[in-house]
Structure 1
Amino acid sequence: MLEQLSPYIRVAMDSWLDSDAFIEERVIWDYELLLLKEGRLEITVDGAVYAGEAGDVFLFKPKQPHSIRVMGGQAARQPHVHFDLSETADSPDVWVSFKPLRHMSRTENSWFRPDLLSGPDWKLPSRIRMPDLLKFEELLFAIIREFEMKMPFHQFRLKGLMLELLACLLRETQLEEKLREPGHLPLLLEIQHYLNLHAGRELTLMELSGQFHMNKHYLIGLFKQAFQITPMQYHQQMRLDRAKNLLRHTRMTMQQIADSLGYPSIHGFSRAFKNKEGVSPSAYRAILAEGRK
């Protein structure tokens, strides 16, 4: 199913709801992602009531009853996007519903998209509190700009941005669920970025714990909760993945590859590679060459 995803953006807009606005219970045929940018909302989804605050993200799924009421006596800003996970022949003809299920015709009942975001592989809740809201917000507003401006090839960019937005949501919500202590995901992503950034050299746990001002044993445990691997194992894997790419796609010598990845010697590089891959770097390259014949 993953290879069939080709999102269709039906509506993308940055809008306001008046201070006394109330959207009565309805069901929609597609998905809607809504960011509460300013103000307060009372949002009811399948009977569950949420007190929405600025920074909350809400996901409404196909055939899921929901209503929206502005609270606090002030208007609410709610940039949002309606989308199909995969574009179909009728995607351009299906619009946004404001009807309850009981008022829908037989034809309208046939328009509901399959709900793939309720699990088990891609499970997203109705309210999402993003550890890294800035990234999500940047992507959402990029989608809104593309939709409104309709520059040449905007359809391609909309699909790419929507896939990136969904990946951001799925990754962060699922990683957050794995952590016994909430709120650490932004820090863990910083650590992961640091490891990627320094994949071209040796890195010690002492350096990493000092860089992020954390006890090394606590750092290992926290990182492993999220990624099922220790930070040093992750770093070593990044280096060896780069080595495999260089062996596959370049004519660099073993010494040049070892130097580019910060190994102290070609022997150290060869030993680390063989321990992980089961063959030496030169044998790995020879196997690839044989497979191309």
Structure 2
Amino acid sequence: MDHWMHPGTHIMERMLWDYELLYLKQGELEVTVEHSIYHGLPGDVFLFKPGQRHSIKVKGDAMVDQPHIHFDLFEKHDSGEVTVSFQMKDEMNPSEHAWFRENVLSGPDTILPNFFRLREPLSLEPILFDTIREFQMRMPHYEIRLKALVLELLAFLLRESQWMHRQDEPDQFTLLMEIQRHMNLHANRDLTLDELSQQFHLNKHYLIGLFKNAFQITPMQYHQQMRMERAKNLLKYTRLSMQEISDTLGYPSIHSFSRAFKNKEGSSPSFYRTSLFQHLNPSLNRSEHAISYPPNQ
């Protein structure tokens, strides 16, 4: 959940029964996982795994915004009973011992680190906040949507982990970051593959292969995704009309904007905005307290 921590907050050493993904959006943290100590800065991600000893401490005098989610990779008969642990294993009863999930993200087939310093934190935020919002709104079939979003988050982190180990390709990495940054800057208009090819002096087919190998989508798919994320933010957080949003994002007409949005999101922009406000019920915010840190721990 999207949760704030006050200066001086210290979550003492504990072990979780499942996984927690914590995104540090604002402020600084000192995080200890087993025998490693990390200095968390805005944009960093921490992944706590079942049975891992860890503690969290707010550094400095500023509030800390640390949206986070708890999840399991396999649904079991007792999944509904598993809560958030603030204990060590020797403080738990036998029933609680049985709640520990298998740590499949530490190998041998899939290994994710406990700490990520993201290259592009803004790429993670839409997925994470969609996951939190889906849990809070609990629209019909939200469980299916939540599973898909958690898998998307894991895929994102797996790619980040892969990049973290590609120290032998710094030039290629820099080039891809420049291409990605160029598309982010021009998310308010149409962008063609020919334009990218000319801008970066690359053969179109080589450009597609290079980008897809790194991000698993083509450059044009990435650009369209960025435009849709901006569209969703404008629909959620502004009162701009559909025509104004269409103009802001550089679509030739409101019809082409609506068609592109529906193809990507499965509903029209107007329906998306209406359903969002209809289902935002303040009483649902109480659910976050069941899985967030107590402020004075």
Q: TM-score, normalised by structure 1?
A: 0.61
**Local SS of the residue matching 2:80:** coil
Correspondence for 1:20: 8
- Which segments of structure 1 move beyond 4 Å, counting only runs of 4 or more? 188-191, 207-210
The answer (yes or no) to whether the contact 1:188–1:223 under 8 Å persists in 2 is no
The answer (yes or no) to whether the contact 1:132–1:186 under 8 Å persists in 2 is no
Q: Does 1:44 align with 2:32?
A: yes
Distance 1:26 1:145 in 2: 27
Distance 1:160 1:126 in 2: 22
Q: 1:169 aligns with which of 157, 173, 178?
A: 157
Shift of 1:131: 2.0
- The change in CA–CA distance for 1:114 and 1:83 in structure 2 (over 3 A counts) is same
Shift of 1:132: 2.8
Correspondence for 1:270: none
Q: 1:35 aligns with which of 6, 23, 26?
A: 23
Which amino acid in structure 1 is aligned with residue 177 of structure 2?
L
Q: Does 1:70 align with 2:72?
A: no
Shift of 1:135: 2.1
Correspondence for 1:136: 124
Q: 2:90 aligns with which of 72, 80, 102?
A: 102
Which amino acid in structure 2 is aligned with residue 103 of structure 1?
E
Correspondence for 1:85: 73
Distance 1:131 1:120 in 2: 26
The answer (yes or no) to whether the contact 1:43–1:66 under 8 Å persists in 2 is yes
Correspondence for 1:58: 46
Shift of 1:53: 0.4
Q: 2:177 aligns with which of 184, 187, 199?
A: 187
The answer (yes or no) to whether the contact 1:14–1:77 under 8 Å persists in 2 is yes
Note the alpha carbon deviations across 1:44-72, whole angstroms, 9 max, x for none. 00021101001000000000000000001
Distance 2:77 2:175 in 1: 39
Shift of 1:153: 1.2
Distance 1:45 1:62 in 2: 12
Q: Does 1:113 align with 2:101?
A: yes
Distance 2:6 2:51 in 1: 26
* Greater RCO structure (CA 8 Å; 6+ sep): 2
**Local SS of the residue matching 2:81:** coil
- The change in CA–CA distance for 1:167 and 1:103 in structure 2 (over 3 A counts) is same
The answer (yes or no) to whether the contact 1:131–1:186 under 8 Å persists in 2 is no
Distance 1:131 1:69 in 2: 24
Correspondence for 2:143: 155
User: Which sits farther off after the overlay, 116-125 or 181-190?
Assistant: 181-190
Shift of 1:21: 0.2
The answer (yes or no) to whether the contact 1:130–1:173 under 8 Å persists in 2 is no
Distance 1:61 1:16 in 2: 22
Note the alpha carbon deviations across 1:209-256, whole angstroms, 9 max, x for none. 643257x9xx99x959x949xxxxx99xxxxxxxxxxxxxxxxxxxxx
**Local SS of the residue matching 2:78:** coil
Distance 1:188 1:227 in 2: 16
Q: Does 1:145 align with 2:118?
A: no
Q: TM-score, normalised by structure 2?
A: 0.60
Larger Rg computed on CA atoms: 1
- The change in CA–CA distance for 1:137 and 1:119 in structure 2 (over 3 A counts) is same
> Percent identity among equivalent residues?
48
Distance 2:99 2:133 in 1: 27
Shift of 1:134: 1.7
Correspondence for 1:9: none
Distance 2:61 2:117 in 1: 24
Runs of at least 5 residues in structure 2 that lack an aligned partner in the other structure: 184-192, 220-297
